[in-house]
Amino acid sequence: MRRISDWLCLENGLSIIEDPKRGSKHYSKWMGDRKPSPYQEKLRLAIDAALAQKPGDFENFLRLIGDFGYEIKQGKNLAFRADGQKKFTRLRSLGDGYGEQDIRDIIEGKRTLSSSRSKAAQREPQKVNLLVDIQAKLLTGKGPGYERWAKVFNLKQMAQTMNYLTENNLLEYAELEGKAAHATAYFNALSTQIKAAETRMAEIGNLKAHIINYSKTRGVYTAYRKSGYSKKFYAAHTDDILLHNAAKAAFDALPFKKIPTVKALQTEYETLLAEKKKAYSEYIIARKEMRALLTAKANVDRLLGPAPAMPERENER
């Protein structure tokens, strides 16, 4: 290999090492601690990919990291753990530019993401993908080149699917099917819970606004009523009277007669917000697990299913 390399370099006018001296250690051993952790490099790419999407705040940034398949541990030291990783990777171990404050500065616009990191962010972490339906693609006009690529792609995805099933001990189809159904049901339950919390939080926000408006405009509406519902008074205080009427209509539509206090509504809102945050962290993990299981099951179904029928071709003379 060295002779061939030297020959190619000389042929193309490039320099060569005249008297190469082989090191005493193998390259992998020489690298030692110099070799970066693969989990650290993947986490850097995930961080760059999340920042490239310009999240509005740090919470959205963490959601994007969760979408990439990372488990997040918040505390004194923010840390992340990928699938198959035993220990969490602390954010501060990633080097300059990847600290929590550095990330917050980029999100807030105080710093910019470098061009090299932006380009690297285009590479997403590898995951199991659905197999390509080669026959369907060929019917749409794809050529032999695409067919060759698709076959290689499908082989790689089936290898990754088998690795996933082996690592998760899902070699029995019935168990895979049951776990996929359970993961889907759990994800849907969390989604319903989060939507219900958001709906109730919106209702609380509207009711609080009506209670405050009612309190502020009660004196104006009392004076309006004492004026005999004067048109002149109405014209001078239209906004306050409309707010008061809207509040009364909202109270009449309540299923209960007693109107809650603002303090009680605020307490309920804070409780719902805490429950929503907890449910959302579980929602991210559940969605990732559900997608992986459904993708693996779809690939297995296609592999075990009947081969697609080839289209009949007219006989050529």
State residue 238's pLDDT score. 93
pLDDT per position as a tens digit, 127-144: 566 666 666 766 677 777
Q: Are residues 282 and 181 in the same domain?
A: yes
Structural domain count, the chain: 2
pLDDT per position as a tens digit, 41-83: 888 888 888 888 888 888 888 888 887 778 888 877 889 988 7
Stretch 200-209: mean pLDDT: 92
Q: Are residues 284 and 189 in the same domain?
A: yes
Per the CB < 8 A criterion, the answer to whether 10 and 16 are in contact is yes
Q: What percent of the chain has pLDDT over 70?
A: 78
User: Could you tell me which residue, 140 or 104, shows the higher pLDDT?
Assistant: 104
Q: Are residues 91 and 192 in the same domain?
A: no
Query: Would you tell me how many other CB atoms lie within 10 Å of the CB of residue 268?
Result: 14
Cα angle for residues 51, 49, 105 (degrees, 5° grid)? 20
Classify residue 110: in a domain, yes or no: yes
Amino acid at 92: R
User: Could you tell me which residue, 267 or 112, shows the higher pLDDT?
Assistant: 267
State residue 127's pLDDT score. 58
What stretches of 79-222 adopt beta strand conformation (E)? 79-81, 89-90
**Residue spans of alpha helices (H) in 92-172:** 100-107, 115-120, 134-139, 144-167
State residue 132's pLDDT score. 65
> 313: pLDDT confidence band, cut at 50, 70 and 90?
very low
Cα separation, 230 vs 233, whole angstroms: 5
Q: Are residues 190 and 291 in the same domain?
A: yes
pLDDT at 212 over 90: yes
Give the domain range for residue 290.
176-304
Q: Are residues 109 and 196 in the same domain?
A: no
What pTM, to 2 d.p., does this model score? 0.52
